[in-house]
Each structure stands twice: as structure tokens, then as C-alpha cells.
Structure 1
């Protein structure tokens, strides 16, 4: 069990769900904006990667999702929140705000989760280029046209659901 006075590193793993295609395809022509990627994020702390998707809150070993290696890693600092307290926090989120049925690709997604967890652990937000992407896409006619299709999607990169696991 972790000591209360210990400090634990917190990282944000950033994956491009398009695997570079958002930048390569003429997304600019469709949206009027250059997209560098379509971002999925996970928080890495206490030796595990935690993320939210259509199946709720999941975890795996770092880089253990079907997405492979992250495109980038953002150092969010350190936390004094031990693993037991963190798991209690995640379980409460999994039963309320971050149940799988509450997933929405634009308004309540993996990046919303990562941002909330980062603030809980470190007091810092994740980079705005990640959290602002959905509203940037929706502000375009193309984004509005795609919204009905995209609203029905749920991203699930694998992992183990945290509900009931300690």
C-alpha cells in the first residue's frame, strides 16, 4: 500500500485515433481547419493507464490498449493521492458521471475524463488543443452534418473495467 506522504508521477498519454490520417486527408477542405489528429487520452498513474469509453472507465498497463504507443506523452506533474484513494475516486465516477451509457463522442468523452482526473490528481488541466477539438469540429458545417453519425459512436480501446475491481 502507498504511503500518504509519497509523490506519484502523473502522465497524459495522447493517441491519434486517425493514425495520422486527419492531417493527411484533406480535412481542411471539409472543415476549414487543419486537424493534427483526433485525440484519445488516458491518464497514467500508479503503474496503470486509465481511460473512459463506451464501456465506462477502464484500465490497462501503460500502452496496453489496441492503440499501441501514444503519439505523445504530457508530464502533468505529481500527485500525493495514493492508489487506494484514487481507486475509490474512480469507482465513484464509474457509478455516476462516467458510466458507459453517459459516453458522448463530443461532450463527454475520454478527454473530458482525462481532464477531470488530471485536475483531481494534480490541479492541472490537460492541453486545450485536445479539449477544444470537439467544439472546433462542431462549429463547422461539415461537423454539424456528421454529428448524428458521430453521436452514435462509442470509442472503446479495450482494457479492464474498473467497476468492482480493487
Structure 2
């Protein structure tokens, strides 16, 4: 490996969309404890990248209406150049991660950050985040809510859509 290669820090920003309500209401509503309803983003190359109903977006770190993250996880470093990363995101934005492909339970911001984290660092995001949809759906109330929740598209305001947000 080339010792002179430039390395870039990669972080996972974690936001609790429920602002703490999931922790207190989940035992009553779902019969199990959830610590939060997670939205995640990858921070690298000086920007925050995330996926939602608009497609892939970016902003300055903590620059969406969600404000600063509840938690920051250091995912490690990457030698992938910013140019290669932006080409990769552009490719994802035209295919797998177009806005119309967003699904709250199966294909969401956490699916995106997990894939991007593995591309950049070779490591996934924490499983408590990726396991959340199946935890909710494993409950009777989760099954009742599913048709309603499936229609929700989360797109935190404040980001710039990468690839013009084209719906193909």
C-alpha cells in the first residue's frame, strides 16, 4: 500500500427523529424499548451526505433542519479520493438511490449510510440502527402502522440534492 496516499476521516452522524419520544413511548406502543428512530448521514470530505425522499443530498455537517447530530461515530479513514466518491454517489443517485426508490423500512437513509460506509471504510454502521425496521415490524402495532409508515418519505430540509433529484 502506498504510504503517501491521502487519507480522509469518515464519520456517521446519528439523529433521533423522535427527539427522545421513542424511548418513552415505544414500551407502551410496541411492547419493546426503542432508544430512537434513527436518521443517519455520512460525513466525509467536509460535507454531510444522506438519502431521503429527494434522493441523495449533501450539506455542511449538521446543516439540515435537524441541527447537530445526537451522536457521532468515527467509522475510520478512507483512501478513496473525493472525485471517485462523488462519481460513486452520482452513480448511486441515478440508480439504487433515486428519490423514488426510498422506502421507509427497506431502503432508507440507514441503508444508504451502511452501503457508503462499507464502500469507504470496509465496515458497516452499527447494527442497532440497521435492525430497527425489523424490530418495529416484528410487533403487532408495527404491522398495523406499516401501511401508514410506508407512505412516509423522510427528507430533512437543508440539503442540496446531488444529481438534480431527477425522477426517472
Residue 61 of structure 1 corresponds to which residue in structure 2? Answer: 60
Q: Distance in 1 between matches of 2:35 and 2:125?
A: 17
Following superposition, the deviation at residue 164 of structure 1 comes to 5.4
Q: Distance in 1 between matches of 2:164 and 2:131?
A: 32
Residue 6 of structure 2 corresponds to which residue in structure 1? Answer: 6
Q: Distance in 1 between matches of 2:31 and 2:95?
A: 37
Q: Distance in 2 between matches of 1:111 and 1:8?
A: 21
Q: Distance in 1 between matches of 2:56 and 2:29?
A: 33
After TM superposition, what 4+ stretches of structure 1 lie above 2 angstroms from structure 2? none
User: Over the residues paired in the alignment, what is the CA RMSD in angstroms?
Assistant: 1.3
Residue 122 of structure 1 corresponds to which residue in structure 2? Answer: 121
Residues 44-103 of structure 1: CA deviation (Å, up to 9, x unaligned)? 000000000000000000000110011100000000011100000000000000000000
Residues 135-159 of structure 1: CA deviation (Å, up to 9, x unaligned)? 0000100000000000000001020
Structure 2 portions without partners, runs of 5+: none
Residue 31 of structure 1 corresponds to which residue in structure 2? Answer: 30
Following superposition, the deviation at residue 5 of structure 1 comes to 1.3
Residue 17 of structure 2 corresponds to which residue in structure 1? Answer: 17
- Give SS of 2:111's match: helix
TM-score by length of 2: 0.93
TM-score by length of 1: 0.95
Q: Distance in 1 between matches of 2:142 and 2:109?
A: 19
- Give SS of 1:43's match: strand
Following superposition, the deviation at residue 24 of structure 1 comes to 2.1
Structure 1 portions without partners, runs of 5+: none
Q: For this pair of structures, how many residues does the alignment match?
A: 161
Residue 133 of structure 1 corresponds to which residue in structure 2? Answer: 132
